[in-house]
């Protein structure tokens, strides 16, 4: 029962083939059995069993209406969960117990979901390999032999939990690729909605103009079911959209005939592995056979997306992270002799190296002498990139690219300098910069049996196209289910 999708588990729960309590217990046992994956920071076992019991009662009485009733989920430790510790992967919040619930997690609870616990992540969502977490790195369940692979980041714990069947589905967040990149590395589906589709209220903020919550699931259909639950306007987030939320699941199985798919020529990266190109070609063949038309397009400014992202996101992060001062909540360093010293020691001891690097870069690009040269310039580039996509979507309905320039790397073999690590995001950040929705769908395994993913990008608020096309790709990719975790 642990390998079932949301859709399948929901059917069986309603048919009373098993109870939510049994399903929840099965996952809690597996989380313990595979604790070496380090996918969770905090387990909420008691709450989980209590929610499962309530769901079983609703189902027994025939009152079950929620789309996720009785479904055990894993929650990235970036969503505030009332009464359950939320760390954002940082020492800074090692003892933080939120007094309120994030909108997205509340919507999941309202739909009847069971929360198993909070998943590991890169500190404050900064990273691409889940190696910056204060709570240790996460191991990709696809690891084989003696090499331990990274699951990608920053939603690495959520990805590992879904891939290793430690939950039915999980929630992640994507500022520059953190849902899609770990989904690709871990052989699962990851969907980043359009900026504004989901409320950011109660998510620990990283880059506020880029952050979006997103489903991490076993199937494209599950992503559709999940997305509908978490979408919608929220008065508590002024950037959340009032656009109506379609029934995304109704786009599952819809024909893609006559859809035009664009392949951006700038995404054929120099030095990209031939296996990634082959995977891309496999996707092209599948989609062409399904009746779509494949067109080469150009996104002339796409190459500036990564540098722009690494100015805009640290700038916003440096402002967002100013609140961790040791006074209001979380960690406070001991032994300071003055207020200023307390601030300094708290931030010195509470933040990890990558987070400090981002705060330094962000503060620098916002400083009086450099603001125009870096920050304003990056915002101008952002407009040009948006313009590129507007032009492209006049020619095609949707864009298809690889999700990542490589497959998962082994722990200890990760790029050592920060810039090489940042290159992992080169294919995903554009969607955040342009506020577009994107989905990563598993396409196959490389020679070393490591998962590869392909990404679709659609115009704003056209997640329906991601589901429609993603489903066809998934159905024809024959991606294997993970059998064994070592
Ligand atoms: N890897 C990217 C970064 O480190 C993206 C992170 C994210 O999407 N949260 O900034």
Q: Domain with 58 in it: what CATH number?
A: 3.90.1300.10
Domain count, the chain: 1
Structure tokens at 26: 């099965």
For residue 125, tell me if it sits in a domain. yes
Instruction: Among 76, 90, 119, 125, say which to mutate for ligand 1: greatest number of ligand atoms within 8 Å of CB.
Output: 125
**What are the residues whose beta carbons fall under 8 Å from the beta carbon of 449, sequence distance 6 or more?**
142, 144
Residue 74: its H or E element: strand 72-76
Q: Which domain holds residue 198?
A: 6-252+460-477
Whether residue 483 is contained in a domain is answered as: no
Per-residue b or e along 238-274, where b marks 16 or more CB atoms closer than 10 Å to that residue's CB: eebbeeebbebbebbeeebeebebbbbebbebeebbe
The rounded Å distance from CA 266 to ligand 1 centre is 21
Show which residues are catalytic.
Answer: 76, 154, 178
| Binding site membership of 128 for ligand 1 (Cβ less than 6 Å) | yes
- Rounded distance from Cα 154 to ligand 1 centre (Å): 6
CA-wise closest residue to 48 among 78, 25, 19: 25
Nearest to 452 by CA among 126, 186, 142: 186
User: CA–CA separation, 464 vs 247, rounded Å?
Assistant: 8
Residue 316 lies in a domain: no
Indicate if ligand 1 lies below 6 Å from the C-beta of 206.
Answer: yes
Q: Is residue 373 part of a domain?
A: no
Cβ of 127 less than 6 Å from ligand 1: yes
Q: Give the position, in ligand 1's atom list, of the atom nearest the Cα of 429.
A: 5
In a domain, 60, yes or no: yes
Say how many Å lie between the first and final Cα of the chain, rounded. 20
C-alpha to C-alpha distance for 205 and 126, rounded to whole angstroms: 11
For ligand 1, pick from 126, 180, 403 the residue to mutate: most ligand atoms within 8 Å of CB: 126
Q: Counting beta carbons within 10 angstroms of the beta carbon of residue 294, is it exposed (0 to 12), middle (13 to 18) or buried (19 or more)?
A: middle
pLDDT of residue 223: 99
Alpha-carbon distance of 303 to 323, in angstroms, equals 33
Cα 439 to averaged position of ligand 1 atoms, centre (Å):
16
- Under-70 pLDDT residues of the chain: none
Quote the pLDDT of residue 414: 86
Does residue 357 form part of some domain?
Answer: no
Q: In b/e form, how buried is each residue of 27-59, taking b as 16+ CB within 10 angstroms?
A: bbebbeebeebbbbbbbbeebbbebbebbbebb
359 Cα to the center of ligand 1, angstroms: 14
Q: Is residue 176 in contact with ligand 1, taking CB distance under 6 Å?
A: yes
At 415 the pLDDT is: 85
Ligand 1 within 6 A of CB of 152: no
Going from the Cα of 175 to the center of ligand 1, the distance in angstroms, rounded, reads 6
Distance in angstroms (rounded) separating the CA atoms of residues 393 and 318: 34
| DSSP single-letter state for residue 444 | E
Verify whether ligand 1 is closer than 6 Å to residue 350 (CB atom). Answer: no
Q: Is residue 449 part of a domain?
A: no
Is 0.85 surpassed by the pTM of this model? yes
Q: Is residue 412, in this structure, part of any structural domain at all? A: no
């Amino acid at each position: 029962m642990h390998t079932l999708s949301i859709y399948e588990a929901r059917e069986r729960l309603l048919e009373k083939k098993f109870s939510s309590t049994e399903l929840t217990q099965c996952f809690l046992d597996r989380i313990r059995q595979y604790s070496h994956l380090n996918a969770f920071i905090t387990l909420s076992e008691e709450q989980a069993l209590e929610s499962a019991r309530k769901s079983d009662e609703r189902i027994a009485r025939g009152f079950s209406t929620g789309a996720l009733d009785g479904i055990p989920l894993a929650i990235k430790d970036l969503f505030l969960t009332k009464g359950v510790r939320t760390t954002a992967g940082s020492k800074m919040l090692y003892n933080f117990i939120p007094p309120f619930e994030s909108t997205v997690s509340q919507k999941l609870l309202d739909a009847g979901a069971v929360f198993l616990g909070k998943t590991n992540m890169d500190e404050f969502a900064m990273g691409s390999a889940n190696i910056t977490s204060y709570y240790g790195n996460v191991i990709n369940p696809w690891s084989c032999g003696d090499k331990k692979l990274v699951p990608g980041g920053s939603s690495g714990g959520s990805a590992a939990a879904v891939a290793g069947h430690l939950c039915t589905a999980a929630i992640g967040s994507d500022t520059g690729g953190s849902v899609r990149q770990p989904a690709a590395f871990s052989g699962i589906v990851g969907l980043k909605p359009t900026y504004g589709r989901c409320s950011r209220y109660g998510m620990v903020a990283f880059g506020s103009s880029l952050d979006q919550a997103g489903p991490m699931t076993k199937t494209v259909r599950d992503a559709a079911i999940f997305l509908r639950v978490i979408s919608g306007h929220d008065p508590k987030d002024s950037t959340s959209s009032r656009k109506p939320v379609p029934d995304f699941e109704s786009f599952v199985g819809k024909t893609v005939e006559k859809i035009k798919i664009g392949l951006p020529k700038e995404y054929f990266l120099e030095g990209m592995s031939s296996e990634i190109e082959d995977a891309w070609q496999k996707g092209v063949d599948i989609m062409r056979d399904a009746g779509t038309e494949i067109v080469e397009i150009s996104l002339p400014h796409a190459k500036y997306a990564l540098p722009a992202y690494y100015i805009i996101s640290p700038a916003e992060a440096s402002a967002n992270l100013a609140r961790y001062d040791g006074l209001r909540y979380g960690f406070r360093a001991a032994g300071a002799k003055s207020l200023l010293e307390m601030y300094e020691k708290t931030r010195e001891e509470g933040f990890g190296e990558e987070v400090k690097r981002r705060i330094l870069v962000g503060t620098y690009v916002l400083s009086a002498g450099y603001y125009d040269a870096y920050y304003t310039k990056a915002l101008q580039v952002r407009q040009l990139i948006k313009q590129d996509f507007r032009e492209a979507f006049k020619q095609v309905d949707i864009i298809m690219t690889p999700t990542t320039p490589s497959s998962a790397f082994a722990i200890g073999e990760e790029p050592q300098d920060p810039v090489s690590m940042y290159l992992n995001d080169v294919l995903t950040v554009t969607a955040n910069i342009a506020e577009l929705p994107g989905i990563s769908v598993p396409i196959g395994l490389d020679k070393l049996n490591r998962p590869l993913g392909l990404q679709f990008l659609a115009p704003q608020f056209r997640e329906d196209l991601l589901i429609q096309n993603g489903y066809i790709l998934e159905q024809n990719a024959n991606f294997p289910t993970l059998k064994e975790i070592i």
